[in-house]
Structure 1
Amino acid sequence: MELLRSLAAALAVGVLIGIERGWRQREAADGSRVSGLRTFGLLGLAGGLASHMPESLAAVIGLAVTASLVLGYRSEQARTASLSITNTLVGIITFALGYMAGQGLVSETLAVAAVTTLILTLRQQSHAMLKGMSHKEVESIATVDYR
């Protein structure tokens, strides 16, 4: 029963992140979307399954997933000239979260997935905030005294 719970959580984190990714690309023509609910759901599930395999096999699966994501990024970059690596990084994070869920860290995994999804949804707000910041504000952040 614990195996099913951890795999369900691995799938859930992928679906949660995939909903945000798919929603962002919802206006794109069929066949032109790079990833969404299914892809990220499967990435989370793959991480969950990998966590129940021997460590060496899990590492090979993780490298294969990462290589696939990087190749997908390179292909999209060549096709669209986009430099955004967000989907690739989020894919790696989703696989890792699935792995964490598979290890039984379900609450922690769901919390990190929620924060990841929140960060992804704040794209416009974060870009607007950065554009509105002055050099002095950035310098103040960089020189905060943490004593």
Structure 2
Amino acid sequence: MDWNVMTRLAVALVLGLIVGVERGWQHQQSSKGAFAAGIRSFGFVGLLGGVGALLALEWGSSLLGVLFLGLALVVAVSYWLTAKKTQDFGLTTELAMLLTFGLGALVVSGYEAEGVAIAVVVAAL
């Protein structure tokens, strides 16, 4: 077991959790009865980005693109259903989720400091 890889995957998960805590707090402050992705969803997305980057080392970078497009499709459908129900057309949570996938991939690819810095900015926004 490569502890360096495990550490990077853990950082990807934690960054997702941090963004998820902030997004969950924002949703709680302005809840309109809609479901919003929260801490666990963002944690999973960060970890998915990290695992995708790890698998892309073996199977090629196209895999990471396919995973991203799959996530983007799920996020787009969720946005469409939520916007239709609530008439709230904000995209912040959806964009943050896609960015969280990228953060996970960034960290596992060896750019830990950059990933952490971007996560801090995302959480602050």
Instruction: Determine if the TM-score, normalized by the shorter chain, exceeds 0.5.
Output: yes
Q: RMSD of aligned C-alpha atoms?
A: 1.6
Amino acid at match of 1:39: S
TM-score by length of 2: 0.88
Aligned match of 2:91 in 82, 85, 95? Answer: 85
Any runs of at least 4 consecutive aligned residues in structure 1 with deviations exceeding 6 A, and if so which?
none
Amino acid at match of 2:15: V
Match of 2:44 in 1: 42
Match of 1:109 in 2: 115
State the secondary structure of the residue aligned to 1:104. coil
Assess if the C-alpha contact under 8 Å between 2:107 and 2:115 holds in 1.
Answer: yes
Distance in 1, Cα, partners of 2:34 & 2:9: 29
- Structure 1 residue runs without a partner (length 5+): 120-147
Q: Does 1:68 align with 2:74?
A: yes
Percentage of matched positions with identical amino acids: 31
Aligned match of 1:26 in 14, 25, 28? Answer: 28
Match of 2:53 in 1: 51
Number of residue-to-residue matches in the alignment: 118
- Structure 2 residue runs without a partner (length 5+): none
TM-superposition CA deviations, 1:34-56 (whole Å, max 9, x none): 21100101110000000011212
Aligned match of 2:15 in 9, 13, 16? Answer: 13
Question: Higher relative contact order by CA 8 Å / sep ≥ 6: 1 or 2?
Answer: 2
TM-superposition CA deviations, 1:28-79 (whole Å, max 9, x none): 59x9422110010111000000001121222111110111111111011111
More helix by percentage: 2
